[in-house]
Amino acid sequence: MKVAVLGAGVVGTATAYFLAADGHDVVVLERQKGAGLETSFANGAQISACHAKPWAAPDVPWQAFLWMFQPDAPLLFKPWRWDPALWSWGMRFLRNCTSARVRTNMDRTLRIALYSRDVLKALRQHTNIQYDQQIQGILHIYRTADEFGHGRDTAAQLANLGLPQDILTAEDCARIEPALLPAVKNGDIAGGLMSPDDESGDARLFAERLAELAVARAPRFRYGVNLRQLDHEGQRLTRIVTDQGDEKPDAVVLALGSYSPHLARDLGVHLPIYPAKGYSITAEIENADAAPTISITDETRFMVFSRLGNRLRVAGTAELTGWDTSLDPVRVDPLVRNVKSLFPDASSYREINAWCGLRPATPDSVPILGKSPYENLFLNTGHGTLGWTMACGSARVIADLLNGRTPEIDLEGLELERFRA
Ligand SMILES: Cc1cc2nc3c(=O)[nH]c(=O)nc-3n(C[C@H](O)[C@H](O)[C@H](O)COP(=O)(O)OP(=O)(O)OC[C@H]3O[C@@H](n4cnc5c(N)ncnc54)[C@H](O)[C@@H]3O)c2cc1C
């Protein structure tokens, strides 16, 4: 079958890989010059199933209100901007801010995140792909006893859903990651949690190398191609119009991240995806002993730290301000301040690569996978904060559906259908 995958982020590239491995004739259409150059470019690098708690939770509306006027707040939301897409997304988000919805959404996210971790492991074994990975778990640190208490409550919920975490004292944290010792001695860490089966690695490098891997029938990547429109006859797509000629595939997979709603809208398909802009900085490590090797989530400051070879990546913050990709130094500052205070000797931090990207966020933090109202259009999008974590599993699901196989996980609550209910 000829399949067109739209978008070569980490999600689209993984999809193309599995479809090609199944023997399909795959073409990937991507506007950038390579794979993984937009939101998958410099993310937090965590394969983090334990991060399954959705953004929408009972305490979040009040917290977001308090942060509304703080330009460097971890979550910035400006509802007074003229932005009907944000208002409609925001209403759905508010409906997900109940304890019952948190449990449901966490269960759905975990289902695909845990599956995806397994698919990634198998793929790694099969291909020996290298992407500056660290397979040592993820350490979560808390700055105050109060927050550590909340963290332990979430850990209990995750344990009930099949994802156990170890509870650690501050000293345990420093034993696991000696680079944290100065912070522990200063009394900056109240305690931690360890997710032993999580991992980290460079999503861009993974996408780039996966795109290069020869498989049974290698996917054809067409870079520098701008998608214009999808034509259809009845409930079947017939043609993809681009600025560089048309394609007429038998099936299409939509994996355009935050831009997925734009093309879908013209087909009458409403995808409730809104961009949640996040930032990262990457610094060269100059003193390896003073830099962390294990990936760390600072749960109090809403930031993650990942070692990528000789680089230290720090990522975090979310801003709901539309499809604007400009880099605001005020949003970069908290990342720089935090890394300098936690790992002061890891780098001189004289040269820092700052970056921002648009997380394709759904109101319930669960991706949109599977069938669409069009019989030959498949959706693989809306992965929000966990697109790298969920990429391989989501790709496997789509390949299974296209092959007429039953996916290995239940798709209940992961399909677009849930927003119609
Ligand atoms: C600061 C930050 C930190 C993050 N940290 C983590 C983390 O630690 N772990 C994790 O799991 N996830 C993390 N994420 C989320 C993760 O990066 C995303 O969910 C993931 O990259 C989404 O991948 P994607 O392939 O769906 O989208 P993208 O990578 O954006 O790919 C979509 C592709 O579609 C192409 N495209 C769009 N429109 C068109 C068009 N009209 N024509 C042609 N091509 C088009 C784009 O060029 C792009 O390459 C983070 C995100 C951010 C911003």
The pLDDT of residue 421: 66
First to last CA, the chain: 32
The pLDDT of residue 216: 61
Q: In testing the pocket of ligand 1, which one of 31, 43, 378, 381 has its CB within 8 Å of the most ligand atoms? A: 43
- Per-residue pLDDT tens over the stretch 270-296: 999 999 999 999 999 999 999 999 999
Residue 75: which of 280, 337, 278, 317 has the closest Cα? 317
H or E segment to which residue 207 belongs: helix 203-212
The alpha carbon of residue 82 and the mean position of all alpha carbons in its chain are separated, in whole angstroms, by 27
The binding-site residues of ligand 1, defined as CB within 6 angstroms of any ligand atom, are 7-12, 29-32, 37-40, 43-46, 48, 226-227, 255-257, 259, 278-280, 304, 315, 357, 359-360, 381, 383-389
Ligand 1 centre distance from Cα of residue 168 (Å): 33
The alpha carbon of residue 161 and the mean position of all alpha carbons in its chain are separated, in whole angstroms, by 21
**Domain spanning 1-72+82-131+200-274+362-421: which CATH class is it, in words?**
alpha beta
d(Cα 395, Cα 19) in Å, to the nearest integer?
8
Which residue has the least CA distance to atom 6 on ligand 1? 44
Ligand 1 centre distance from Cα of residue 204 (Å): 10
pTM over 0.95: yes
Mean pLDDT (whole number) for 359-376: 98
Ligand 1 centre distance from Cα of residue 36 (Å): 7
H or E segment to which residue 397 belongs: helix 387-402
Mean pLDDT (whole number) for 328-335: 95
Ligand 1 atom nearest to CA at 258: 30
The pLDDT of residue 367: 98
- Per-residue pLDDT tens over the stretch 226-238: 999 999 999 999 9
The pLDDT of residue 316: 96
d(Cα 40, Cα 189) in Å, to the nearest integer?
30
Ligand 1 centre distance from Cα of residue 46 (Å): 14
- Per-residue pLDDT tens over the stretch 50-99: 999 899 999 999 988 888 888 888 888 888 889 999 999 999 999 999 99
The pLDDT of residue 200: 98
- Per-residue pLDDT tens over the stretch 213-227: 866 678 899 999 999
In this prediction, residue 21 has a pLDDT band, given cuts at 50, 70 and 90, of very high
Give the pairing type, strands 166-168 and 191-195: antiparallel
Ligand 1 atom nearest to CA at 383: 19
